[in-house]
Structure formats: structure tokens, C-alpha cells
Amino acid sequence: EAGVVQSPRYKIIEKKQPVAFWCNPISGHNTLYWYLQNLGQGPELLIRYENEEAVDDSQLPKDRFSAERLKGVDSTLKIQPAELGDSAVYLCASSLGDSDEQFFGPGTRLTVL
């Protein structure tokens, strides 16, 4: 069974440019998470979806970050415009429900120059 798929794996952009990350969760998983992980730190939750509904986006910087999960399966996370401090790994995870084990994707490593 395929795990959580993310693309791209790596992205280098200049500051003020837009960028988007894509995530395909494990089939049948209703809950999807986006995390940000800085070097030497643990993942920090940005947003959680239950099907297509964003049920916890309290940590998402809404001035520049946006996310969607239109059909309750794949999700995209967008940053516009990107800032130098956004350089990090963006992890996607999914679970059957919000009380179940989370499975993580390999992440997208973003570098903002």
C-alpha cells in the first residue's frame, strides 16, 4: 500500500515568489495534516482537515499561507509571497481519524533565497 505522497521533494525559490506543495494521503484516511519542521525542531501543526473541512487552522499564518482539500482527498498548501523565514520542511500526514496514528509523508524541503 502506498504511503503519503508529497511533491515536490525539494523547492528553491526567491523571496516574494509564490510556492505550492501537494499531498496525496493514504487511501481512506479522512484526516489530513500539514506540519512545518525547522532544522533541529519537531514538527509544528499548521492545519488539520477532516475530509474537506479545515477543523484546526489556528496555527496557520493566514496572511500568506493558504490550504485547500477540495474533494476531501488531495491537498495543497500555498505560500504567497514567500519570506526567508519560511525555509523549512513541510510535512503532510494522514490518519483514519483524528484520534488514530498519523502517517507522515517524506516532506518538501523549501529554501527561500
Partner 1 sequence: GQNIDQPTEMTATEGAIVQINCTYQTSGFNGLFWYQQHAGEAPTFLSYNVLDGLEEKGRFSSFLSRSKGYSYLLLKELQMKDSASYLCAVRGGGRILTGGGNKLTFGTGTQLKVEL
Interface ranges with partner 1 (CB under 8 A): 3-4, 40-45, 48, 50, 55-58, 91, 98-99, 101-107, 109
Question: What is the smallest separation between the CB atom of 84 and partner 1, expressed in angstroms?
Answer: 22
Measured from the CB atom, the residue of 45 and 73 that comes closer to partner 1 is: 45
Looking at residue 102, its amino acid is Q
Question: What is the smallest separation between the CB atom of 68 and partner 1, expressed in angstroms?
Answer: 17
Measured from the CB atom, the residue of 22 and 81 that comes closer to partner 1 is: 22
Up-side HSE of residue 74: CA atoms within 13 Å toward CB? 9
Up-side HSE of residue 69: CA atoms within 13 Å toward CB? 25
Question: What is the smallest separation between the CB atom of 92 and partner 1, expressed in angstroms?
Answer: 9
Cis peptide before 25 (omega within 30 of 0): no
Measured from the CB atom, the residue of 53 and 63 that comes closer to partner 1 is: 53
Nearest residue to 18 (alpha-carbon basis) of 61, 64, 82, 75: 82
